[in-house]
Amino acid sequence: MSKVSKRLSRTGSSNLLVPSRRAVLGGVAAFLAAPAVIRSTALGAGQVIVRTSGGAYSDAIIPTIYEPFTQETGIKVVPVATTIGKLWAMFRSGNIELDVIDTDQVVLYSLEREGALADIAYDKWKSVKPEDIDAAVRTRQFAGHIYFSWVMAYNRDVFPEGKAPKNWAEFWDVKRFPGARTLPDIASGQPPLEFALLADGVPMDKLYPLDIDRAFKSLDKIRPSVAKFWDTGAVSAELLSSKEVALGALWNARVQPLVDSNFPVGIEWNEAMYTCMGYSIFKGAQNMENAQRLVEFASRPDRIAAFLTRYPYGSCVPKAMDLMPPEAFARLPTTPERRSKAFLLDIVWWYENRPKVNDMWSKWLLAGR
């Protein structure tokens, strides 16, 4: 088991600041679910209420997981676009209006540490083996579902085939690779500390614990070439597609549609950083049994494979990749080849250090204005 896996198995609580996760996967809806609406839905029998990020993500998951689940079980799935702040408000007020939370592991690990989540009933699973989920993203209260990556994206008109940067050290080399850049702001979820350290010569397998001071010194070097620190996936894609920037660190699902639409955009998978989204269940969920059944169903390899044919992320259940058509498999951020050149974000480190990074990032941005 990896160091990250071992650390994820810890339990307990913490009073550290909850991470800001505006626009998770570039698509968290601004819509705040009205409590009365959610409560009226949850009162019906044979339902399960699921937090979703909305947008293209929901468009892909509804026909491939939620509707098939209803057809098989008769249980209606009610997806509700809900902000991360709303999830915390439910927990702190004790007014739990959702059953299943579908979001990224950074958020769910924080909720787990605060005691907001119920155990997943792995011992009752019949249609899928819990151990089929990658061990690094499976805990008592979290079932990893899909991986997504931060990748290097570039304009192919500026950097033709073979001329683009191949690693973050080259991304930082503005003399050899001139052009405006974009990097993620902390409001996107993660500021680019890992990439800054890779650019400064830290090996991928030696990144954690992150040397924060060294990372900010590295960021000082690239800052004059950063046109904008993006806060949402939509902004990052617009910067690249409009040619306002020639290079950027983006979510792979924001770059892939541009590639598919024949925009002159390329992806460099070397030194990509990946993390995962998955499922947890609120402690005190009104539809607990149905919630448990949905998490199991969504973890089936055939369901994940169906979803990933519509949405270009990777599978936390390796068996799902064997069921995918070649054209869909080729878009995954976690094919064996790409995964061998990437690294897994350490969510425990970020949970424990985010308050410090938040403070330093805010001061760093203000100092440069």
Determine whether 340 is exposed, middle or buried from the number of CB atoms within 10 Å of its CB (0-12, 13-18, 19+).
exposed
DSSP letter for 316, please: S
Residue 172 has pLDDT above 60, yes or no: yes
Residue 188 has pLDDT above 90, yes or no: no
Q: pLDDT of 302-340, one tens digit each?
A: 999 999 999 989 999 999 999 999 989 988 998 889 999
Q: Report the pLDDT value the prediction gives residue 271, as an integer from 0 to 100.
A: 97
Provide the 10 A C-beta neighbour count for residue 296.
Answer: 21
Q: Report the pLDDT value the prediction gives residue 154, as an integer from 0 to 100.
A: 96
Q: What is the DSSP string of 146-182?
A: EEEEEEEEEETTTS-TT-S--SHHHHH-TTTS-S-EE
Q: What is the DSSP string of 46-97?
A: SEEEEEE--HHHHHHHIIIIIHHHHHHH-PEEEEEE--HHHHHHHHHHT---
161-to-17, 154, 345 alpha-carbon distances in Å? 44, 11, 29
Binning pLDDT at 50, 70 and 90, where does residue 27 land? very low
Residue 25 has pLDDT above 70, yes or no: no
Residue 35 has pLDDT above 50, yes or no: no
Q: Report the pLDDT value the prediction gives residue 108, as an integer from 0 to 100.
A: 94
Cite the beta strand spans of 113-261 per DSSP E.
117-118, 138-139, 142-155, 181-184, 226-230, 247-251
Q: Quote the pTM value.
A: 0.81
Binning pLDDT at 50, 70 and 90, where does residue 39 land? very low
Residue 23 has pLDDT above 70, yes or no: no
Say if CB 155 and CB 264 are below 8 A apart.
Answer: yes
Q: Report the pLDDT value the prediction gives residue 33, as an integer from 0 to 100.
A: 34
Binning pLDDT at 50, 70 and 90, where does residue 369 land? low
Q: Report the pLDDT value the prediction gives residue 29, as an integer from 0 to 100.
A: 32
Binning pLDDT at 50, 70 and 90, where does residue 111 land? very high
**What domains sit in the chain, N to C, each tagged with a CATH number?**
3-147+275-343 (3.40.190.10), 149-274+351-367 (3.40.190.10)
Q: pLDDT of 69-82, one tens digit each?
A: 999 999 999 999 88
More confident residue, 3 or 202: 202
Q: pLDDT of 257-292, one tens digit each?
A: 899 889 999 999 999 999 999 999 999 999 999 999
Binning pLDDT at 50, 70 and 90, where does residue 189 land? confident
